[in-house]
């Protein structure tokens, strides 16, 4: 593998695999609000939030982390301003104290914050305006949960950059991801180059998964799977991933290492691979290489779909896990590619109707499909060219599914949002 492509793949992992406290959409709201207060220099009298539909969709039903069980966009914004640490980015709410929660309750009840739907903007769009007397600061985030594209203070632009500059600044180009190159990278990568990011993902995501299995979080999908379906490796792989989501969606304060901007996707690309590595007595070296496969395959598929859409990200993340498990098994390139094709040809239509307790169930369903896809692939079975969205090879099928998720499901996304906010009567 040439040096430039190798460094690109390492940089993608370092850029994508970062810790986040709780669901990333309310965290993005809290981060924008905390940053606005930081630049303003004092607690605002009023906070005005303008949010894309997909942000609203993914905040409406989820508990804001470190909020004492509170929900809602206003809570995320006010809590970020009251006690958030803007310099901590996706861990902005890690420093919240009990008195911050009480102050947030009081200010939300007083109506300090308003939230409006922003139209004609990116799918991931957050604008926080903090106002104090005759002064204001406006912070805009686009396309990525920490990607601040504008900071405006009293009519003057403090910072302005294009959204795509973030990837350039990080030295990454996701368009260069290809399954064949991903597998070569996994074989050749110097473990020292990815040890920190992958090791952190294993430690953090294993911890929140165990928390979800040990305690009664959310809908308890993970616990239910183990109690009702036994303890075989397939069930454990699905249950451990679902349990991490159970805890995360219900406000657990443990951090998660994300993938493609999502903690649920970060859990889904890691816990099944870790579970199979334990079952098969895979070496640590091979596990780290397999997690490179799972993470990069997920990013590769998500690149064509976009940050937020009506396409459930558990599917792309499950494709990553299925590919990585096939890699650890010793499957060929064609078998790994067929695992991805079989998964997309099965559950590619699962919709995202916001972040909430059912995410754990969607993770379990998607992983079941990916593991079936792997089992079929190693027996030479699978879905073929012309069967639905499946095309002649894995790369074409990934692009095909990406088009459906990004373009074909755009109207679906709007309909889902309108039902959720009561705008459409069914």
Tens-place pLDDT, residues 329-364 = 999 999 999 999 999 999 998 999 988 999 999 999
- Structural domains of the chain, ranges and CATH numbers in brackets: 21-167 (3.30.1330), 174-420 (1.10.4100.10)
Whole-angstrom distance, CA of residue 340 vs CA of residue 387 = 14
- Give the pLDDT score at 36: 98
Considering the chain, what is the average pLDDT of its residues?
A: 95
> Residue 163: pLDDT above 80?
no
Any idea what DSSP says for residue 406? I
Whole-angstrom distance, CA of residue 389 vs CA of residue 247 = 34
200's enclosing H/E stretch is helix 191-214
- Give the pLDDT score at 37: 98
> Quick one: average pLDDT of 21-49?
95
What is the dihedral sign for C-alpha 187, 238, 217, 263? Answer: positive
> Residue 166: pLDDT above 70?
no
> Residue 169: pLDDT above 80?
no
> Residue 155: pLDDT above 70?
yes
- Give the pLDDT score at 425: 84
pTM: 0.91
CB 275 within 8 A of CB 258: no
In sequence order, what are the residues at sequence separation of 6 or more whose Cβ sits closer than 8 angstroms to the Cβ of residue 187? Answer: 289
CB 51 within 8 A of CB 115: yes
81's enclosing H/E stretch is helix 73-83
Q: Which pLDDT tens digit goes with each residue over 102-130?
A: 999 999 999 999 999 998 998 899 999 99
> Residue 167: pLDDT above 80?
no
DSSP per position, 95-122: T--HHHHHHHHHHHHHT-EEEEE--SS-
CB 298 within 8 A of CB 269: yes
pLDDT band at 420 (very low <50, low <70, confident <90, very high): confident
Query: 165-179: b or e for each residue (b if 16 or more CB lie within 10 Å)?
Result: ebbeeeebebeebeb
> Residue 45: pLDDT above 80?
yes
CB 258 within 8 A of CB 89: no
- Give the pLDDT score at 303: 96
Any idea what DSSP says for residue 308? S
| Residue listed under structure tokens 């007083």 | 110
In sequence order, what are the residues at sequence separation of 6 or more whose Cβ sits closer than 8 angstroms to the Cβ of residue 110? Answer: none
Q: Which two tokens mark 239?
A: 């249950």
Contacts of 421-425 spanning 24+ positions with Cβ under 8 A: 421/56, 421/60, 421/117
Q: Which of 53-67, 280-294, 375-389, 392-406 comes out lowest in average pLDDT?
A: 53-67
Q: Which pLDDT tens digit goes with each residue over 222-256?
A: 999 999 999 999 999 999 999 999 999 998 989 99
- Give the pLDDT score at 138: 98
Whole-angstrom distance, CA of residue 397 vs CA of residue 77 = 40
- Give the pLDDT score at 61: 81
- Give the pLDDT score at 274: 98
Whole-angstrom distance, CA of residue 7 vs CA of residue 300 = 16
Residue 78's CB: how many other CB atoms inside 10 A? 31
CB 307 within 8 A of CB 143: yes
> Residue 79: pLDDT above 70?
yes
- Give the pLDDT score at 168: 66
pLDDT band at 96 (very low <50, low <70, confident <90, very high): very high
């Amino acid at each position: 593998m040439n040096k430039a492509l190798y460094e690109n793949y390492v940089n993608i992992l370092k850029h994508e695999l970062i810790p986040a406290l709780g669901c990333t959409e309310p965290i993005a709201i809290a981060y924008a609000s905390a940053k606005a207060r930081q630049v303003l220099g004092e607690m605002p009298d009023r906070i005005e939030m303008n949010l894309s539909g997909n942000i609203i969709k993914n905040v409406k039903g989820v508990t804001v982390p470190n909020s004492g069980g509170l929900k809602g966009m206003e809570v995320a914004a006010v809590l970020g301003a009251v006690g958030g640490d803007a310099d901590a980015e996706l861990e902005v709410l890690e420093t919240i104290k009990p008195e911050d929660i009480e102050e947030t309750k009081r200010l939300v009840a007083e109506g300090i914050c308003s939230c409006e739907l922003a139209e004609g903007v990116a799918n991931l769009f957050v604008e926080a305006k903090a106002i104090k007397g005759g002064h204001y600061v406006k912070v805009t985030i686009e396309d990525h949960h920490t990607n601040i594209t504008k900071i405006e203070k009293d009519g003057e632009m403090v910072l302005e950059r294009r959204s795509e500059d973030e990837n350039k600044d990080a030295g990454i180009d996701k368009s260069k991801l290809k399954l064949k190159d991903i597998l070569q990278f996994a074989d050749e990568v110097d473990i020292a180059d990815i040890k920190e990011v992958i090791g952190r993902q294993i430690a953090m995501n294993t911890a929140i998964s165990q928390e979800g299995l040990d305690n009664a979080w959310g809908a308890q999908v993970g616990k239910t799977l183990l109690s009702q379906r036994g303890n075989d490796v397939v069930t454990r792989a699905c249950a451990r991933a679902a349990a991490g989501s159970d805890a995360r969606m219900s406000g657990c304060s443990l951090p998660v290492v994300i993938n493609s901007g999502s903690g649920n996707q970060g859990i889904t690309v890691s816990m099944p691979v870790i579970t199979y590595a334990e079952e098969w007595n895979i070496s640590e070296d091979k596990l780290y290489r397999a997690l490179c496969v799972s993470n990069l395959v997920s990013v590769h598929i998500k690149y064509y779909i976009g940050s937020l859409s009506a396409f459930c990200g558990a599917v792309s993340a499950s494709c990553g896990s299925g590919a990585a498990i096939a890699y650890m098994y010793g499957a060929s390139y064609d078998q790994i590619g067929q695992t991805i094709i079989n998964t997309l040809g099965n559950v590619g239509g699962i919709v995202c109707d916001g972040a909430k307790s059912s995410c754990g169930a969607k993770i379990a369903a998607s992983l079941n499909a990916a593991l079936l896809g792997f089992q079929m692939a190693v027996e030479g079975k699978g879905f073929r060219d012309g069967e639905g969205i499946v095309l002649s090879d894995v790369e074409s099928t990934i692009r095909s599914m990406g088009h459906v998720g990004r373009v074909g499901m755009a109207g679906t996304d709007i309909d889902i949002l309108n039902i959720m906010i009561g705008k459409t009567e069914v």
